[in-house]
A and B are shown apart, each in its own frame.
Chain A
Amino acid sequence: MILEIENLKTYYKIEKGVVKANDGISLSIKENEVVGLAGESGCGKSTLIRTIIRLVPQSAQVTADKMNFMDQDILAMPEKDFREKILWQGIALVPQSAMNALNPVYRVGDQCTEAISAHTDYDKAECEQIVKRLFDTVGLQAGMMKAYPHEFSGGMRQRAMIAMSLLLSPALVIMDEPTTGLDVLVQERILRSIKEIRQKSESAVSILLITHDISVIAEMSDRIGIMYAGRLMESAESMELFNEPYHPYTLGLKNAFPSIKALDRELISIPGSPPNLIEDIPGCLFAFRCPFVIPECEKTRPPDLEIKPGHMVHCIRTDDVEEFRKLAGDKKTWQSSRSAT
């Protein structure tokens, strides 16, 4: 296991109360695996990343039953050790606003070599060799190392950031919305670069890919987790999640997504919006938007049920899933939920 997280909770204390941004998330990433996390804005995806790489503000309360990176407890680890031993070398991040993450007055190649020499004792030529190899992996010409960020297009900058994250051969790369806001052809090139990393890289790389775009997740991931309101609603192997979804939210998302391969399919939206994470809601957080809600749903928090090995569902009504799958394809089903009326 590269990353093992059990029952992670990240709470932000603010004036009005406690925001439960991550509320009991369990997630594990195997070696050489791409795990995709999908969810709407405010579902806690970014908080999860920040918690993993320790970028949450000091005031945030982080607790977990387990949070191990390659068998080291990264929650208990002193900050200094984490920064020196884990960050970049173990876990690297491609930030969301990668377009603006490069220093505009340094040559891109220099920014990369600097990152290597800060963490290792390679000489200049060796550093440049590494950067050159990684530029090649993501499809940038070696000559671009001498260029400044403004000479790069948006897509090239994003690819440079991906190359940069790989400089110290981390075991895990976290990518936060790597293609959001980019044109389809540019997105395609970046996704291809990410695939090439896995083929060309000398050591195994696991990737945690976070995006709201289900199509990108479907194309890239081995395993998929669906997040909602700070909790993981369902997680399974990609094929299984798409072919046999259990959670009503997953069923709803599947119907809400347009595809150029299904021109005649009617799109169905999920009425309502996610709950306010400050409120204390005892039961399932999706209950208010769920068309299949029963009184029990709102009494206690649903357990994380393991339906099959590797397939987790956060719902108490998994026995009726056959019926749900049938009904979820009908628009009227969703219009009957409380949030629609």
Chain B
Amino acid sequence: MAILEVSDLKQYFYLQPTFLGKLVGGAKPRIIKAVDGVSFTMQHGEILGVAGESGCGKSTACLAIAKLREPTGGDILYKERNIAEMSKSETRNYRREVQLIFQDPYESLNPRYTVFDSVAEPLRALTDKSKAEIRERTNETIALAGLTPEEYKNRYPHQMSGGERQRVGIAQALVLEPKLVIADEPLSMLDVSIRAGILDLIRDLSKRMNFSCIYISHDLSILSNISERLMIMYLGRIMELGVTRDVITDAHHPYARALIAAVPIPDPAYKRPIPKIRGEVAQPIDPPPGCRFQTRCLQVMDICRDTEPPLKEVKPGHAVACHLY
């Protein structure tokens, strides 16, 4: 049974025209299609990497999955239950089982809470455990995140380094033993030498606690290391989805290929190819019919300009949205 099934998820935002525009031309609101028809499924215990440039809708999609914003269209099934139809108590349970790890450990912790309070807060808010149980569970989780509870539990965020803070952020997300964790660029604020430690922690805990993880990042090097499957998005749509190794070594979509070609390699002997792409990221405002990527694609064909390519399998478990295949 899949833990999460997202089908045809849409999240639109409306840009109201200016007063003058309404007055003179009767302008209509313009539509930003931040997420436009995203479908995928996730299995239990799987780590799914989501890559894409800024504005591709990766974070917006996850906000809808976390039930923090109501989507414009589409269904999100969590354990075969539509999250839009959940009752209050089901929603409460959903909030326990789906947790977020945030990007910036410098801003996502309450500066007036000690580590213990920060980690214990979800337990206090969403469970009816006794004080002793809360204390035990909190200390356990702090230790699980790689911090010694005796040393850290009474510290405040300003007394810790970025890496330590991010570990607290992880403990906070895991204290309720979630089934699905959404990590939005959890490493981007951290130094290189400690990133590997946090990556290991997430991977290790996902196996031990058996939670699924959606890992969002624009850094393909990191995603290639942590994720089992990789999804590449462009302007609100999935361009390519498959096992990480297949997508990295055998990318099909021209966008995925360009993105992978642009990743610098830590090896001075490596001569990186020039990515085959033109122009810059467009805005997802009133997108033209056809493929989202047509304006930047060097292999664009006539069909791309009027028909949106569906996401279809090129081989088992590896899907591409492109008319070339």
Contact = CB atoms under 8 A, between A and B. Distances in A.
A219 B191 CA distance: 19
Contacts of B270: 218-219, 261
A267 B161 contact: no
Among all A-B residue pairs, the 7 with the closest Cβ atoms = A269-B197, A267-B196, A269-B196, A215-B264, A188-B262, A238-B268, A183-B53
A139 to B, nearest CB: 11
A214 B268 contact: no
B174 to A, nearest CB: 19
A183 B266 contact: no
B194 A269 contact: yes
Nearest to A270: B193
Nearest to A154: B54
Interface string A249-286: 00011111111110100011111010000000000000
A55 interface: no
A125 interface: no
Interface stretch (B73-81, B89-97, B220-228, B309-317): B220-228
Taking chain B's interface residues, is the majority helix, strand, or loop, or is none over half, making it mixed?
helix
Given A192-B274, A260-B263, A263-B224, A185 B269 contact: no
13 contacts: A41-B162, A184-B218, A186-B280, A186-B281, A187-B262, A218-B264, A219-B264, A239-B269, A256-B195, A257-B221, A259-B224, A263-B248, A269-B200
B277 interface: yes
A155 interface: yes
Given A186-B280, A242-B267, A273 B163 contact: yes
**Chain B interface extent, by class:** 35 or more
A30 interface: no
B199 A260 contact: no
Contacts of B53: 183-186
Contacts of A153: 280-281
Interface string B183-210: 0000000011111111110000000000
Contacts of B245: 263
Taking chain A's interface residues, is the majority helix, strand, or loop, or is none over half, making it mixed?
helix
Interface in B211-269: 218-222, 224-225, 244-245, 248-249, 258-269
Contacts of A216: 264
A22 interface: no
B220 to A, nearest CB: 6
B274 A256 contact: no
Nearest to B262: A188
Interface of B: 53-54, 161-164, 191-200, 218-222, 224-225, 244-245, 248-249, 258-270, 272, 274-275, 277, 280-281
Interface of A: 40-41, 153, 155-156, 183-188, 191-192, 212-216, 218-219, 221, 238-239, 241-242, 252-261, 263, 267-271, 273
Given A260-B265, A267-B199, A214 B192 contact: yes
B267 A218 contact: yes
A260 B250 CA distance: 12
B54 A269 contact: no
B161 A273 contact: yes
A277 to B, nearest CB: 14
A155 B258 CA distance: 17
